[in-house]
Structure 1
């Protein structure tokens, strides 16, 4: 039964089957991951986007809250070839419109050829193509949200592992995945989570051994407060970042970022370390990339398109990664990044001065 419609920026209107009712709009993107749908759907980096799964069957091992990366579903809408009842019920409970029984191969091809595009979705027994087109028109009239950090960040400071024997990490929450926090806690760090718009006084109050800029959604230029922290503390306190965090740090240190045609989203992105020559598979979810590294050195690149995947500076005590070393979902080839973060803290001049 045709009771759902997806209106695309390229003029197409695709018919589909309703799986979770509602109206929505956003940037249509795709992920190539074939497992980890729970982690992807709860990843804050998908805020304000409509997520298309290229793998045909989504939901074949149920829905378990312990796999979630945050406390809610973040994409505004979900598109798949086939969604199981478990996932459809979950998305209905979350109020996130979802559709299936359409040709996702064609959608993914369109995005790869034409770039990520805006879309409007109308789902339900009374839905019409005009409803989807109206959502698309609203989306096309929207400017990029400069306050997107407020939608995904904590409102106040939170502390994880307060009695840890390791370093104190000030995690600037621009939309952090839970597994980043877990990876740091597993190394006995005390993780002080600060809002995306934390001030210098906020950071000074927790007296961290390192400032860690998290992943998050949208344009790194929207996170001016995080960039200001980088500018304030660079050379005095070690800095680390993942995904959006790499972009924010690069821009703050004289670099430039740019929007990609369709981004990297999946669990099989090959990354080469320029020093060792080793290639590892990585999990990624980003639509922007570093175009110029500024004061940082490029230490890792994406094998497919040569975009920077790792930036470092021994002089400034900075280490960043564009991909997600904590995976979830995806390979665990790069979990040692968190060991490198701890080592950076231990070898930084400030630590040795103590």
Structure 2
């Protein structure tokens, strides 16, 4: 397959700002969170090449797939096949999402070293997404996390609906903090705070991080996962960076959303994040032209343009 190339862009002027981390880890979710929202199934070969290209661009954490039951996320029904075909690059981590012990069994059989669970900060979304109450979801995850840790796996905990819920409305920061603490106590080494419907603003980010700190979960254990529904993903990310968060979830080309929340649009585009980090002089290890090339290619595979502003600007500079 011929690979389209993007010319080397004029990178942003580097103007460091005080109070920011020297380096940020980009937790790339495009192959899982990005593709799970597609109306059709993306072939395994395309997914494998997508992950290969992302690794070649310098990304070192690539969430590869999910072992959620195919009935719920049919786009990822090929998880076992994908992991068997995957070319695991040196120094690259390929976490997978597991919903329960059966999913963990499949992950262990596939030789996975890093898994993630997906909890909710709200009652309604826990019932809609997991068919469990708020408390029941933690009871379901506890044996999954315990077994994973006993097997030597790293475990990440996602908390969704941290900044608002389409059914319940505003979500109290203390409620988010309580859910995060329960996952940490369970054994999760990192908690990703998700703005599933993209309603958060920078002051709201501060309030959630304050609540987590008060409840005993410091920024060293936290990542952020912003959706750009209202154009706030980058500003919210900058707010989190100013508070000391050093892991940011993003999706190449801005792919994805949430299949269970109709108002959720795409994730923060990795290219948009990289452009901002480059301008701030923050290290991240990603080669932007290669990443843009990857998202241009994937957009062609999906038959529609990338929603990332940076991809659009650099792929068609005229």
Q: Same fold (TM over 0.5)?
A: no
Comparing both structures, which one devotes a greater share of its residues to strand? 1
What's the TM-score once normalised by structure 1's chain length? 0.27
What's the TM-score once normalised by structure 2's chain length? 0.29
Comparing both structures, which one devotes a greater share of its residues to helix? 2
